[in-house]
Structure 1
Amino acid sequence: MTDREPTKNISGGDAGGGNEARFDPATAGTRAEAVVDRLGELYWTKTYGGRDAFECLVRTILSQNTSDTASQPAHDALVDRYSGDSADLVDALAEADQQTLAETIQSAGLYNQKSERIIAIAGVVREEFGGEAGFDEFVRDEDADIVRDRLLEMNGVGPKTADCVLLFAGGRGGVFPVDTHVHRIARRMGLAPADADHETVREYIERDVPGEKCGFGHTAMIQFGREYCKARKPACLDDPEACPLADRCDQVGVYPASGEVVDPSAAD
């Protein structure tokens, strides 16, 4: 079990900010909140916010369809090449040569597509917000729904990416980004309908989990998915007691008797 937040992670870690949060599991008002409280006891409890909004957006785009192990080197290489002591990262990327940027972020996969999108988004941010500072102010101070809608209008920004920017840069309470781990776990545990899409899962969790717990709930659920509730072989498949959340789970799509695991939407 991991008892602390990974340092190299979009959620921030020791290098990226976040403040320790306090909570009382005994006061959980919903099943989803009780699950998040248990995850907080297993891993970490932090509130987030304060990361540079544009860099957070770029970092999340780099993480799309790949792992932190692959995207982190790409992020580090991009920052090393394009972010100097006085340079505005938005300006540098808006004017970047696409092929050079693609080579720089190659480890993240889909590098041609991602480099094109990052350059285009940098141009939009520079024209509309004047650079990093203006974009930071927009993400942190404007109405969250307006920020989310504007982010979703940018090519390459989906709901999860927009929500990560709102959470980790904007510090917005009540935002629970849904990635593949959260989508799988919420439906497998019965916290959302088995056939729910990503947005429906988000609606259910944000409805049932207090806003101040959504940040650490998101990051801890991802860690739980990596360690216990894996897509093909969850810990409960061979030994129900191997999962620390077994008593909270409906095991939708998991059949220990036969050893079969299916997507919750295909469960009997």
Structure 2
Amino acid sequence: MNKIKIILNYIENKYGKYIDASHMRNQDIFELLIETILSQRTRDENTEKAADQLFAVARTPKQILKLPMRKLQSLIRISGPYRQKAKRIKQISKIIIEKYKGKIPNNREELIELPGVGYKTADIVLMYGFGIPRIAIDTHCNRVPKRISLVNKKANVEEVREKLESLFPKNKWYLINLGFVSFGKEICKPVNPLCIKDSKKCLFSSFCKAYKTKNFKV
């Protein structure tokens, strides 16, 4: 069995039953966009708390524009660089109303023109919001494929995405995306991946260059 099949089978067996593609569009797309902005440079639990606090008060572009800047900053303060994020959220809300008549654009080119929206944020909105197949490259989806030599360590995030999308079937991109995220959080951690103490913790250790060389830096 080749490496791609091993990875795909492992992710399907370990995470498949927890990953339901029908959940992709349960969240309002504008809220998804704003929550992804909030997630930048902070931990998941801080993102969730900031989003809950904000959406309890304002859930639409119009409602956010009516919020005083200091109030908005206070609501999302836990998310890290809250002043910058508050400014971007205000700018995005204004653009969505004035340019797109309250609708979120469903193409990558227009999404990345929004303040604070990069490739990852755009791809998350496309995949989870619109159900358009993408592999959104976050820190885990960048680190794991490089460690297991699916992608060159020097590859940028766009090159990582293009390579992964060429290696895996399109109907598995959603699974691979969330699978690598979960695998990166639980097993192939940024510091002290579980294979260091026990190679059996990771099925990929048999072909993982990082494990064999004990060089986990990417």
Judged with a 3 Å threshold, the aligned counterparts in structure 2 of structure 1 residues 254 and 124 are, in CA distance, closer, same or farther, namely: farther
How many residues align? The count is 214
Corresponding residue for residue 13 of structure 1: none
Aligned CA RMSD, in angstroms, stands at: 1.9
Judged with a 3 Å threshold, the aligned counterparts in structure 2 of structure 1 residues 204 and 165 are, in CA distance, closer, same or farther, namely: same
Corresponding residue for residue 11 of structure 1: none
**Alpha-carbon deviations, 1:195-251, whole Å to 9, x = none?**
111111111001111111111211121111111101121111122112133235232
Corresponding residue for residue 8 of structure 1: none
Structure with greater helix share of residues = 2
TM-score (ref. length: structure 2) = 0.91
Judged with a 3 Å threshold, the aligned counterparts in structure 2 of structure 1 residues 33 and 127 are, in CA distance, closer, same or farther, namely: farther
- Asked if structure 1 preserves the Cα contact closer than 8 Å seen for 2:62 and 2:93, the reply is yes
Distance, in Å, in 2 between the alignment partners of 1:185 and 1:75 is 28
**Corresponding residue SS for 2:56:** helix
Judged with a 3 Å threshold, the aligned counterparts in structure 2 of structure 1 residues 42 and 116 are, in CA distance, closer, same or farther, namely: same
Corresponding residue for residue 203 of structure 1: 162
Corresponding residue for residue 119 of structure 1: 90
TM-score (ref. length: structure 1) = 0.75
Corresponding residue for residue 5 of structure 1: none
Unmatched segments (≥5 aa) in structure 1? 1-25, 84-88, 140-146, 256-260
Percent of aligned pairs sharing the same letter: 29
Corresponding residue for residue 104 of structure 1: 75
Corresponding residue for residue 94 of structure 1: 65
Report the residue type matching 1:49 in the other structure.
M
1:160 to 97, 116, 120: 120
**Alpha-carbon deviations, 1:35-54, whole Å to 9, x = none?**
13311211134325323221
Query: Is 1:77 the counterpart of 2:39 in the alignment?
Result: no
1:61 to 27, 32, 37: 37
Distance, in Å, in 2 between the alignment partners of 1:117 and 1:46 is 31
Distance, in Å, in 2 between the alignment partners of 1:253 and 1:98 is 51
**Corresponding residue SS for 2:99:** helix
Runs of 4+ in 1 over 3 A off after TM superposition: 30-34
- Asked if structure 1 preserves the Cα contact closer than 8 Å seen for 2:144 and 2:184, the reply is yes
- Asked if structure 1 preserves the Cα contact closer than 8 Å seen for 2:196 and 2:211, the reply is no
Unmatched segments (≥5 aa) in structure 2? none
Distance, in Å, in 2 between the alignment partners of 1:36 and 1:108 is 34
